[in-house]
Chain A
Amino acid sequence: MAHILFHDSAGRFFVPQSAMLEEMQPSVKVRPIANHALDNLRFIRETMERSSSFTAVPGWAGVAMGVTALIAAWFAARQPDRELWLATWLGEGMLAIAIGAGGVFAKATRIGQSLTAAPARKFALSFAPPVLVGALLTVALWRAGMAQLLPGLWLMLYGTAVITGGAYSVRAIPAMGAVFVALGAAALFVPAGDLFLALGFGATHIVFGFLVARRHGG
């Protein structure tokens, strides 16, 4: 890539120092130097974006979400009525969102927020729609008395969100999404909702979270 704009007589590139800037004529020479700096920053940002998509997803947060989901599944399966069952899983859902958001934030802070803001935004924008659709359908199905469909719906739409949000990430992320969709599809036809939820939000999160944490830096 030929982005270097300044060369000295020996053909070596250089970037004039800030002190030199002040001696130069404004707008004649300052602009190309600053353009070069802008170009450099753009290169840095693009490189970081492409590599940080490797790791925007926080692995350890995934493990933590998996552990809370396993606990929630244990509790939910022991609830005497459907309202308490739903409340358990909705509580777990909110807890998981908080852990996930905290994990993304912590990772972004560690890496440098100003430069990771763009990929984080992209991830959020493609992750959010399936999750919102899931929330709306939860209300609708609950009111229609079809709570038995909820585990499949949650797993499939969460899986969809992970696939779309992680489309340009490491292969592990969309692969995890696909596992969720498959578990969700199975949950639609097999009446063992809590088991599938435990397998998905619990075990799958832990396995892939561990993988991401180990291989992609936290």
Chain B
Amino acid sequence: MAKSNALRRTESLPVAEPKPSPLELDRLIHERVRLGIVSALAASEAMTFNELKRLLELTDGNLSVHARKLEDAGYVSCLKSIENRVPRTEYRITATGRRAFEKYLKHMEALIGSMKAQS
């Protein structure tokens, strides 16, 4: 079994969250790459950096920039460890992130609902 040393776990520290109105779109999630990250984590709870990279077909830089933004917002948490001398980064969605994701889904469903109501 691989040896795993937890070095740090960053948790949600949302700084001065702007009070969004119920209809306002969550731009943090709306961006396509971040939407992909949040969707993937919402379905699997924990994924490593490499799994996310492969799944979403991203470059290292692109993924780390967007993951960092989600981390800063407290939507995802990040656990870095060393496994067999190889650094391993694991991401999870936080409760805040899950709520934001669900809100975003409801928003999209509402948009579709209004199409059905009007057609």
* Contact across chains for B55 and A50 when beta carbons are under 8 A apart: yes
- B30 CB to nearest chain A CB (Å): 7
- Which of B43, B118, B119 is in CB contact (< 8 Å) with A52? B43
Q: What residues on A are CB-neighbors of B36 within 8 Å?
A: 43, 47
Given A27-B119, A50-B55, A18 and B45 contact (CB-CB distance below 8 Å): no
Query: Helix, strand, loop or mixed for chain A's interface?
Result: helix
Instruction: Name A112's closest neighbour in chain B (CB-CB).
Output: B42
Q: What residues on A are CB-neighbors of B110 within 8 Å?
A: 18
B59 within 8 A of A: no
A16-39, CB under 8 A of B: which get 1 and which 0? Answer: 011101100011001101111110
B96-115, CB under 8 A of A: which get 1 and which 0? Answer: 00000010010111111011
Given A21-B111, A44-B35, A31 and B119 contact (CB-CB distance below 8 Å): yes
Total interface residues in chain A, CB < 8 Å: 41
B79 within 8 A of A: no
* Contact across chains for B35 and A111 when beta carbons are under 8 A apart: no
* Contact across chains for B118 and A48 when beta carbons are under 8 A apart: no
Number of A-B residue pairs having CB atoms within 8 Å of each other in the complex = 110
* Contact across chains for B105 and A30 when beta carbons are under 8 A apart: no
- Which of B25, B44, B102, B112 is in CB contact (< 8 Å) with A38? B112
Size class of the B contact interface (CB-based, 8 Å): 20 to 34
- Which of B35, B44, B105 is in CB contact (< 8 Å) with A217? B44
A136 within 8 A of B: no
* Contact across chains for B43 and A116 when beta carbons are under 8 A apart: yes
Can you report 11 residue pairs joining A to B where beta carbons are below 8 Å apart?
Answer: A30-B118, A31-B119, A34-B112, A40-B35, A48-B40, A51-B44, A54-B44, A54-B47, A216-B44, A216-B46, A217-B44
Which chain A residues have a beta carbon within 8 Å of chain B's beta carbons? 1, 3-4, 14-15, 17-19, 21-22, 26-27, 30-31, 33-38, 40-41, 43-44, 47-52, 54-55, 110-112, 115-116, 215-218
